[in-house]
Amino acid sequence: MRVRWETSTRYYEVRLMRDLLQDWVLVVSRGGKTSRLGALRTLFVSSEEEGMKMIEALEKVRTRRGYVRVPV
């Protein structure tokens, strides 16, 4: 699963997937649309359900901060 939120100048994207060892991971990337600044981090989650709950929590925070969900 892949979800992306944007403002006019920034983006925030999460991907829920399995790694090579078949563990669930949440890959979070964020940065500026017009600059090379940004960050990438990998969070390990115990299950797909936990990952989906984390995405729902991130959706609330991003929406509160003015981000809009965009299709990917």
Segment 9-28, tens digit of pLDDT? 999 999 999 999 999 999 99
Which tokens belong to 43? Answer: 């969070």
Which tokens belong to 41? Answer: 């981090």
Q: What confidence tens digit (pLDDT) does each residue in 37-50 have?
A: 999 999 999 999 99
Q: Please tell me the distance from the alpha carbon of residue 38 to that of residue 18, in angstroms, as a whole number.
A: 23
pLDDT of amino acid 52: 97
**What is the second-level CATH architecture of the domain 2-70?**
Roll (3.10)
pLDDT of amino acid 69: 97
Query: Where exactly are the structural domains of the chain?
Result: 2-70
Mean confidence (pLDDT) of the chain: 96
pLDDT of amino acid 26: 97
- The pTM of the full predicted model, rounded to 2 decimals, is 0.90
Cβ atoms of 70 and 63 within 8 Å: the answer is no
Give the chain's end-to-end CA distance (angstroms, integer).
Answer: 10
Q: Please tell me the distance from the alpha carbon of residue 59 to that of residue 3, in angstroms, as a whole number.
A: 9
CB-based contacts of 23, cutoff 8 Å, min separation 6: 44
